[in-house]
Structure formats: structure tokens, C-alpha cells
A and B are shown apart, each in its own frame.
Chain A
Amino acid sequence: MKKLILFLCAAGLLSAQDAPPPSATPRSRALELAGAFANDGYKIRDGFWAGTLEPGKPQFLAVNLFSGNEYWFSAAVLTPAAKLSVALFDDSGRPVDVEVFQDGAAAAAGFVPAASGKYFVKLGLVGGEKTEFCLVYSYK
């Protein structure tokens, strides 16, 4: 697990106010964060969710998860002043307990479903301006 911490430090993901490098995209930042979990045995899905997010206007994604797997949902935007949040809900819309990693423009939620089925991922933005986002997920 120390590798994970070192990776996040090296990648600058623990420093919220750092401006992203000019070549960075929301997807590259989300993959950077997900890469830390990959070091812990998580496989990153090739598929991703991208779009535009406005402060106070959360967006939702439907996913289908399996009991027995562990999941991390990693998201990023490029606005350094933004605070991104990731949350999960069950198929009836009730919030579920997750582990949260939050670092300004990057955030992740870890979840171990007790039951297989449909869940919703909520992506929210506090502060900053309307911005592009990307979310990827990984499992093991």
C-alpha cells in the first residue's frame, strides 16, 4: 500500500492546487489516479465516462456491479480550484457507504457491493467553473 501513497505523491495528486501540465486531459488525470489502484491489483476498464460538469449540477451514471469484486471510481477535471466529489447509490437511489479519496480536482470512491446489480455513480463539483470531466473505474 506504501507504493500507492508514493505513486500519488509522485504524480502530484496529493497537491490539489497544482496546475495540471499543458498536455493533461481529464481522462489522463483520471487514469493517473486509477493507476495508483492498478498497483494494488485493480484492473482499469478501457471504457470511460466524459462530459461537462457545472458546480451544483451533479451528473449520474448507471453501472452494474458484482458482489465479490471491489471497485474504485476515479474522476478528474482540469480546473485546479474545483472540488470534485464521487458518491454511489443503490438501485433504489439510496446512498451507500464508500471509501473516499478527495484531492480537489481529482476524486475517487471505493466500494465493495454486498449485492450484485445496478448502482448509480454521482459526480459533483463544488466551486470552480463549468469544466470537462472524465471518470474511469477499476475492479479486482
Chain B
Amino acid sequence: MSIRCDFLAAGLAVFSAALAMGAEAMTKEQMQSAIVSDSITIPTPGEFFSAMDEHGHPNWTQMFSPKSSVNTSSREQMALMLGVLVADGYLAAEAQDGQGVKNTGKEIINLTKKLGLVRENDEKSKGLLSRGTSLVAFAENNDWSTLREELEATQNEVKLSMIEQKDKDLVILVTVGAWVRGTQVAAEFISKNYSAGSAGVLRQPAIVEYLISGLGGLPEKLREGPLIAELRQKLGSVLPLVQTKDRAPVSPEAAKELAATMLALVNAISEGGRK
């Protein structure tokens, strides 16, 4: 990060290094009062993959094996699958696979239609439909950076539509689906190409806690369904794997176990969970 030096060299004393020395630590009350927001506290799969790029230079083309959308009447399963597809969109962008982005974008729009978030001749639906068109346009123009931003905007617009049509319980499921798929891809790569640096990106206990808490906050009828119950149980089982002491990277064994658990969850989302 060389921005500070360049600014100082230009004679513009607007940048400075703010050192921790002398700054006061947060109080417990301040830590407890911190805002937690789905749209900014939880990172996108794109951030996850960007960090992996720094550590291991994955071959994204090899890693992009998109999940097909589900044929189900379960709204919960569709919302989870939407999240998986959003993560697939980021994967396709990393792989710079234009056709992959187009296919994924089409699947996302199809699922939003099935969920009733997009309706023909509906003014409000135009925003989401135009997102789908934009994804295709950015892919055709190889504008991968803007495409990643558009994917997040699409996901946020889907969540906003869910809230507007009184489906707010589905919002956390989109977040869970995207996180599970992103972690599955990352953990698989890291378990096969282990380094302490790359394994560091898997250490995200607060996100797992947030997802478990979000699923736990669903109405009982949803919470006790087989798919949600499996997600809660398996996310609970991976929490100790990513909750390392002294910010240490996740161990090779833990990365392997995490990859296997996340793959089982992605498959459960595709297939509908334990019957």
C-alpha cells in the first residue's frame, strides 16, 4: 500500500500513518454495540477468491464446475441455491469464463422468477431483469472487475426484493448458500495445495457464528426442516475448525474436513437435504 508515500511526495499532507500507539482500545460495550449488517459485514465470495489469488494463484478455469439449478418447490432450497449460483458467478468471473457467467446469470434470473421476485410486465421487476442483462454485457466485454461488482449488486437487489415481498427469512439463506459454496471451493483448493498463508483465509469464525445465528433465528417451521437442520448441524461442526487460537491458520486436516463438510452441504442444497 504505497498511496501514503505518493501523496506525501506530492506535497499533500492529507495522508498519514495512524499508528496504534496511544490509541485507546475499544470497550466491551463498544464491541457489543457494533453494527452487524448482512450487506457489509459479510464478505462476498469475490473477496474470498481475491485473497486466495494472493496466496496460491488457483487455476480458476479448472475449479469452475457450476452447479445446476434445482427443480424444487421449496422456497428455502431455491434461496440457498441462489446463493450458490451467486458464488458460481464469482467463480466464472475469476475463470474469465463468459459463457459460464451468462449461464449462471440466466439460472439466477430463472430462480428469482420461480420465487416470484421477478414478474412479467411489473415495473419493480425491471431492476432485477436489467441486472441479468448487465451481467451478460459485462461478460461479453470482458469487464470482469465491474462484473464482480454487478454480481454483488444483483445479490443485494434479490435480497431487497425478498424483504419487499415479505420473504425476509429467505435473505439469510442466500447468504448461507453463497458462503457455503465459496468456502467449499476455497477449502478444496487449500487442502490440495496447503500453505499457512492460503489456509489463513479460511479462519472466519465470526461469519460461521453469524450464519448459525441467522439460521437459528428462522421461524420454527423453517428451522426444523431437514435441509436447514442439516445446515445448522454441519455449520456448528465446522466452527471449531475455523476458530483457531491466536489467529493461527486453519490446519491441513481441518482444511480437508472443512472441504468435505462444505461439499456435503452444497450437495444437500442441490438435492434438498436429508429425506
Q: Which residues of A contact B (CB under 8 A)?
A: 1-2, 4-5, 14, 40-41, 43-49, 51, 58-70, 87, 89, 91-103, 109-110, 112, 115-118, 120, 122, 137, 139-140
Contact = CB atoms under 8 A, between A and B. Distances in A.
Contact of A69 (B3, B39, B51): B51
A97 B19 CA distance: 5
B24 A95 contact: yes
Contact of B149 (A41, A43, A62, A112): A43
B59 interface: no
Interface of B: 1-4, 6-7, 10, 12, 14-20, 23-28, 30-31, 33-44, 46-48, 50-55, 145, 148-149, 152-153, 156, 197, 200-207, 247
Nearest to A96: B20
B203 A115 contact: yes
Contacts of A51: 35
Interface centre among B10, B18, B197 (most CB of A within 10 A): B18
Contacts of B46: 43
A63 to B, nearest CB: 6
B12 A47 contact: no
B11 to A, nearest CB: 10
Nearest to B23: A95
Given A66-B50, A97-B19, A99-B3, 18 more contacts: A43-B149, A46-B39, A49-B40, A60-B34, A60-B35, A61-B34, A62-B34, A62-B206, A63-B40, A63-B43, A64-B206, A95-B25, A99-B4, A99-B16, A99-B17, A100-B17, A109-B18, A118-B205
A47 B16 contact: no
Given A97-B20, A120-B26, A61 B41 contact: yes
Nearest to A69: B51
Contacts of A69: 47, 50-51, 54
A109 B14 CA distance: 12
Q: Which 10 A-B pairs have the closest CB atoms?
A: A47-B39, A68-B54, A93-B26, A66-B51, A68-B51, A115-B247, A95-B23, A118-B206, A47-B40, A60-B34
A63 B43 CA distance: 8
Nearest to B153: A46
Contacts of A43: 46, 50, 145, 148-149
A116 B204 contact: yes
B199 to A, nearest CB: 10
B169 to A, nearest CB: 20
Contacts of A103: 14
B145 A48 contact: no
B35 to A, nearest CB: 5
Nearest to A106: B14
B152 A46 contact: yes
B51 to A, nearest CB: 3
A87 B6 CA distance: 21
Nearest to B46: A43
A100 B18 contact: yes
Contacts of A112: 1
Contacts of A44: 149
Contacts of A64: 41-43, 204, 206-207
Of B20, B34, B38, the most chain A CB neighbours within 10 A belong to B34
A62 B35 contact: yes
A66 B170 CA distance: 26
